[in-house]
Amino acid sequence: MADVTDVPFRSIVVQCGRPDVFYTEFVSAHGLASAGRERLMLDLALTPTDHPIVAQFFGTEPEHLRAAGALARELGFDGVDINMGCPDRAIMRQGAGAALIRDPGRAKELIHAIREGAGDLPVAVKTRLGLRSISEMNVWIPEVLSAKPDVLVVHGRTVAEMSKVPAHWDLIGQVASMARDADILCVGNGDVMSRAQGLACAAESGVDGIMVGRGIFHDPWLFAGHTAPKSPRERLQLLLDHTDAWVAHWGGVKSFDLMKKFYKVYVSGWDGAAHLRARLMEARDPETVRAVVAESGML
Ligand SMILES: Cc1cc2nc3c(=O)[nH]c(=O)nc-3n(C[C@H](O)[C@H](O)[C@H](O)COP(=O)(O)O)c2cc1C
C-alpha cells in the first residue's frame, strides 16, 4: 500500500507477526526511467527480514516494465507484480493501473515485458473484476490469464465500486477457478480483517492465498492470528519504534504527517486513548511525539 508498506512499517509488522509474503508500495516504472529514480529507490529498499517480498510496479510502456523487472532482480526481490487495479484518477489518466482493464492488448505486452526483465522471478498481476460492471471479468480475466502470469491477485470489486460495497468473494471464487484451469495461482483480496476470516475466505473461494490491505490498520498483529488484546504500553512502544524507524528511513524526504495515520492505529482501545491521539495528531515532529508519549506516563 502506497505510503504504508515501506521499510519502516514492514519492520513493525515483522515484530508483530509477519505475513508469508510482503508487497512493496507500488512504484512508477516510468519514474524509475526518469530523474525521479533516486527518490523512488527508497520505495524499493530492502532489509533481510523483508523476504519473501514482491516489488510492485505500475506503468504503460513495455520498456519501462522490462527495466523495472530487471531492477527488481538485481535488487534481490523474490517476485514482481504489475498493478492493473489502481483506481486513482492520476494513475488511470496515464493509462496505468485499472485503465489497463480496457486495454488488454497493452496489459499483455506489459506482462511479457516484465517477465523478460525479471528473468526467473515469478510474475504477478494485481487487478479488479472490471471497470464499471462485474460482467467485465468474463472477458478481462481470461485476457490476463492468457499472458501467463504466475500469480493473479484479484481485488473482488470493480473500479466503479471503489471500496463502497463488500468485496464479491463469490466472484473471486469464480476467478480462482478460471486461474486453476489455466494452471495459474490465484490470490483473493478484499475486506479481510483477521487471519481466521482470511482462512475461511480461502477455504470457501478456493484461492491459493489471501492479500490483506486495510486489515493491518485494524490490527497490526493480524498475521499472528488470535492473540490477547495488546496493552497500551505495548501499543505505545510500537508507536515509538515505528516513529524511530520512519525517521531513519524517510526523515527529510517525506512529510512527517504521513505517520499520523499509524498513530490512529496504535492509540486506540483504552480510556484516554482519544485524548492522547488528539495530542499526537497535533505533533509536528518526532521529538514532540516522544514528549507527548512520555507525559502520558503509560510507558
Ligand atoms: C492507503 C492505501 C494504499 C494502497 N496502495 C496500493 C498499492 O500501492 N498497490 C496496490 O496494489 N493496492 C493498493 N491499495 C489497495 C489494497 O491493496 C487493496 O486492494 C484494497 O485496499 C482492498 O483490500 P483490503 O480490503 O484488504 O484493504 C491501497 C489501499 C490503501 C487503503
Q: Render pLDDT for 8-45 as a digit per residue (tens, 0 to 9).
A: 999 999 999 999 999 999 999 999 999 999 999 999 99
Question: Is the CB of 128 inside a 6 Å radius of any atom of ligand 1?
Answer: no
pLDDT at 236: 97
Residue nearest to atom 31 of ligand 1 (CA): 214
Domain regions of the chain by residue span: 20-211, 232-296
The percent of residues above 70 in pLDDT, for the chain, comes to 100
Question: Is the CB of 26 inside a 6 Å radius of any atom of ligand 1?
Answer: yes
pLDDT at 163: 87
The percent of residues above 90 in pLDDT, for the chain, comes to 97
DSSP lists the bridge partners of residue 126 as 83, 153
Q: Dump pLDDT digits (tens) for 211-248.
A: 999 999 989 999 998 777 899 999 999 999 999 999 99
Selection from 1, 6, 66 nearest residue 32 by Cα? 66
Residue 130 pLDDT > 80:
yes
Residue 65: in which H helix or E strand, if any?
A: helix 62-75
DSSP lists the bridge partners of residue 58 as 28
Atom of ligand 1 nearest to the CA of 25: 8
Find the 1 Cα to ligand 1 centroid distance in Å: 5
168 neighbors 175 (Cβ within 8 angstroms): no
23 phi, psi to nearest 5 deg = -120, 145
DSSP lists the bridge partners of residue 187 as 153, 209
C-alpha cell at 209: 492465498
C-alpha to C-alpha distance for 10 and 53, rounded to whole angstroms? 10
Find the 2 Cα to ligand 1 centroid distance in Å: 8
- Predicted structure pTM score: 0.97
Long-range contacts of 204-208 (CB under 8 A, 24+ apart): 204/169, 204/173, 205/169, 205/170, 205/172, 205/173, 205/176, 206/173, 206/176, 206/177, 206/180, 207/172, 207/173, 207/176, 208/176
DSSP result, 230-245: PPHHHHHHHHHHHHHH
Residue nearest to atom 20 of ligand 1 (CA): 213
* Average pLDDT estimate for 117-127: 98
Q: Dump pLDDT digits (tens) for 150-179.
A: 999 999 999 999 988 999 999 999 999 999
Residue 115 pLDDT > 80:
yes
28 phi, psi to nearest 5 deg = -70, 120
Strand-by-strand arrangement of the 185-189 sheet:
22-28, 53-58, 79-84, 123-130, 151-158, 185-189, 209-211
Residue with cell 520498456: 63
Instruction: Specify the CATH number for 20-211; select among 3.30.590.10, 3.20.20.70, 3.40.630.30, 3.10.450.50.
Output: 3.20.20.70
pLDDT at 75: 98
pLDDT at 280: 97
